[in-house]
Amino acid sequence: MKKITLALFLMTLIPATHAADLYTSGDFWAPCNSSGKDCRFNLQLSLDITDDRISGKVITMYGVAACRWEDVPINGSVTAQGEVRWRSEKNPVPGCGSLVFQGRKEGETLIGYFPKFQGKQVDLTLVKK
The tens place of each residue's pLDDT in the chain, 129 residues long, gives 565 554 445 454 444 455 799 999 999 999 887 667 899 999 999 999 999 999 999 999 999 888 889 999 999 999 999 999 999 999 999 989 999 999 999 999 999 999 999 889 999 999 999
For residue 3, is it within any domain? no
pTM, rounded to two decimals: 0.81
- Determine the structural domain holding residue 78 and report its residue range: 18-128
CATH assignment of the domain containing 34: 2.40.128.120
For residue 116, is it within any domain? yes
CA–CA separation, 113 vs 75, rounded Å? 16
For residue 4, is it within any domain? no
CA–CA separation, 81 vs 68, rounded Å? 33
For residue 66, is it within any domain? yes
For residue 98, is it within any domain? yes
Kindly report the number of other CB atoms within 10 A of residue 38's CB atom.
14
For residue 1, is it within any domain? no
For residue 13, is it within any domain? no
